[in-house]
């Protein structure tokens, strides 16, 4: 993997594939660049894809104290490496980071933005995330309680019923998430108060670039409601549905998602191989 050096000196590692306009892929919580590897491969038929490990994940380094602004600077360093302007794709909480970056950096650097299921909780479609969520994650990590932190993320943030957790712990992916547990609070800070059951803030984002926010047809109401609210808030934002898919589409159905990304970013590019 190659790397860039962010503004605070942190090394951020990435894989680069393909040719054409640049696109940077921003992963979700409890994920690194491996989760988007197949999507990156498909998109590389039309784009130069920068698929990176967010700070504290995979090969990328970390620097205390964490701040959302540092992650925006990481993205800015990658965009600079890509030539100064790029498309940005983000999924789940990574979509919110991508949105924050587009607002901070401007359309000169983020030329178009594709967001898959930002997990805003803006109504009573599900219980809000507890206000002490980030603080409790940090407390668990201070005691090196990695499995407990993942379990808290699963139940409090994702809303997975507790009775499923023991079955999930038997899957090898649980250990992988334990390795990323220290970054779960980062995504909690990115989400801020947007999972409180209250309407989206009207003063957080100023995005002048075209935005696509997409939700899976089979996903819960919270994702569809969140996407509709965001589309109403941003001046150049469209909301589309991904037929037959849910929140796992980036990993489980990249062959379905990739053509939608190509169609929005490069409408005249044609189809990609499946």
Over residues 202-225, the mean pLDDT reads 97
**Can you give the pLDDT at residue 270?**
58
Question: pLDDT band at residue 204, thresholds of 50, 70 and 90?
Answer: very high
Map residue 33 onto helix, strand or coil: helix
**Can you give the pLDDT at residue 199?**
98
pTM (predicted TM-score):
0.97
**Can you give the pLDDT at residue 32?**
97
pLDDT digits (tens, 9 = 90+) for 55-88: 999 999 999 999 999 999 999 999 999 999 999 9
Over residues 118-142, the mean pLDDT reads 97
pLDDT digits (tens, 9 = 90+) for 29-49: 999 999 999 999 999 999 999
Look up residue 171 and give its DSSP letter: S
CA–CA distance, 258 with 269 (Å, rounded to integer): 12
**Can you give the pLDDT at residue 24?**
98
**Can you give the pLDDT at residue 198?**
98
Over residues 112-121, the mean pLDDT reads 98
CA–CA distance, 126 with 148 (Å, rounded to integer): 22
Query: Could you tell me what percent of the chain has a pLDDT over 90?
Result: 97
**Can you give the pLDDT at residue 267?**
83
Map residue 126 onto helix, strand or coil: coil
Map residue 156 onto helix, strand or coil: helix
**Can you give the pLDDT at residue 190?**
98
Output 266-273 pairs: Cβ under 8 A, ≥24 positions apart. Answer: 266/20, 266/21, 266/46, 266/47, 269/46, 272/42, 272/43, 272/45, 272/46, 273/42, 273/45
Q: In this structure, are residues 63 and 8 in contact, taking their beta carbons and an 8 Å threshold?
A: yes
pLDDT surpasses 80 at 254: yes
pLDDT surpasses 90 at 192: yes
Question: pLDDT band at residue 26, thresholds of 50, 70 and 90?
Answer: very high
Share the mean pLDDT of the chain. Answer: 96
pLDDT surpasses 80 at 273: no
Give the domains, in start order, of the chain with CATH numbers.
2-122+201-265 (3.40.50.1820), 133-191 (no CATH)
pLDDT surpasses 60 at 235: yes
Over residues 110-120, the mean pLDDT reads 98
Phi and psi dihedrals of 124, rounded to 5?
-95, 25
Phi and psi dihedrals of 261, rounded to 5?
-65, -45
**Bridge-based pairing state of the strands 48-52 and 11-17:** antiparallel
**Can you give the pLDDT at residue 272?**
58
Question: pLDDT band at residue 268, thresholds of 50, 70 and 90?
Answer: confident
**CB atoms closer than 10 angstroms to residue 62:** 15
Q: Six-digit token pair at 37?
A: 């590897």
At how many degrees (to 10) do helices 184-191 and 68-81 cross? 100
Query: Could you tell me what percent of the chain has a pLDDT over 70?
Result: 98
Residue 207 C-alpha from the chain's centroid: 17
Q: Six-digit token pair at 248?
A: 């796992």
Over residues 227-248, the mean pLDDT reads 98
């Amino acid at each position: 993997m190659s790397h860039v050096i962010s503004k605070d000196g942190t090394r951020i590692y990435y894989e680069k594939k393909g040719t054409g306009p640049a696109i940077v892929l921003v992963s979700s919580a409890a994920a690194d660049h491996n989760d988007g590897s197949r999507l990156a491969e498909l998109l590389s038929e039309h784009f130069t894809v920068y698929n990176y490990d967010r700070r504290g994940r995979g090969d990328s380094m970390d620097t205390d104290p964490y701040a959302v602004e540092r992650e925006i600077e990481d993205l800015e360093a990658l965009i600079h490496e890509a030539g100064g302007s790029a498309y940005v794709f983000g999924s789940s909480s990574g979509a919110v980071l991508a949105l924050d970056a587009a607002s901070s950096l401007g359309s000169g650097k983020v030329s178009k933005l594709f967001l898959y299921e930002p997990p805003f909780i803006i109504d009573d479609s599900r219980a809000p995330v507890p206000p002490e969520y980030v603080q409790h994650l940090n407390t668990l990590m201070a005691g090196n309680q990695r499995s407990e932190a993942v379990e808290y993320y699963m139940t409090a943030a994702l809303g997975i019923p507790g009775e499923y957790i023991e079955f999930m712990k038997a899957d090898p992916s649980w250990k992988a998430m334990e390795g990323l547990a220290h970054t779960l609070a980062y995504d909690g800070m990115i989400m801020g108060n947007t999972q409180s059951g209250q309407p989206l803030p009207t003063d957080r984002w100023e995005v002048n670039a075209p935005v696509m926010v997409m939700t899976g047809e089979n996903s819960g109401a919270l994702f569809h409601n969140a996407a509709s609210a965001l589309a109403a808030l941003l001046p150049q934002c469209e909301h589309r549905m991904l037929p037959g898919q849910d929140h796992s589409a980036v990993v489980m159905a990249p062959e379905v998602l990739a053509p939608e990304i190509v169609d929005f970013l490069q409408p005249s590019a044609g189809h990609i191989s499946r």
